Structure 1
């Protein structure tokens, strides 16, 4: 398991984002599992809303290539997205849309094991958006989205001051999803 590179992709850039906190908590678990996690910053990519006319006139923005190269350097992904009206965030979908416009972008995502996580102030924890996200990522860039997923409800009260999950049952569930990701990615890289 040592040396497995996992890129966490938070679909929220909001200050104080529960999904960014969840990504950081997941990174700590991945380190415990012997993986080497890193966290992408989608806001820093400065990608405009996807528009075919814009692409035709100006090409694919440099930020899409930056993320494609970052993704290519990783063995697996953890996509962490809040739920906006039962859908993943526009930031996340737009980013994947731009990266997929590059041949190397599609190659950087295709077939890579991916785990889905979500945090929400509601009781369902963003579960509805994970259904949409699973379908989108499995078809468009053909990521290998593993069956287990994690939806963290009541996220405003879910974290300790140190950033870990406060509830032991939730912590075990998160660990289980990430252990399944590491196991899958390790088996595929063997």
Structure 2
């Protein structure tokens, strides 16, 4: 994982350093739908989150972009976790219903492949990684329908760094000149454990992307 992140970071420096690259900046704000994968338990379904911030396409060749940005991303997800370590006492097996409400500064590092423009429209596919740095962690915890924790700080129970693999696609519609609207769909697969204390928990989400390039 560290080697992959290093290679993508090196690629970003190389791409941004090319004299003939065309940099495009834009703004994005969109919902996402998060869920958990729990090694010692199961997901409790989908929870809604939100992403907003700055996006950037660096066109280093015709129809090829290095895509990055600076985003604030909230990933929510809930699961039934057996013997959830931060709250479990004794030896009896107990299910805890835990909702994680995680907020990150997210830096995507991906390659975007575009089609030629037709009728002011371009289609694209996208693949890469995200590097996420936790800025907030909250959780709700229930056991046997009794509330144990309500929106408590979970920084001590979660990891600071998260990495995700992204794959997606969409379209851009040119309004005029360099201004274009962007829409698409992205799946972000969590690669690293967000839990601590011997709990393996990964969060994933599907995002419906909206944005505008200037």
Shorter chain as denominator, the TM-score bin is: under 0.3
Q: Which has the larger radius of gyration?
A: 2
Larger RCO: 1 or 2 (CA < 8 Å, sep 6+): 1
* TM-score (structure 2 length as normaliser): 0.23
More strand by share: 2
* TM-score (structure 1 length as normaliser): 0.25
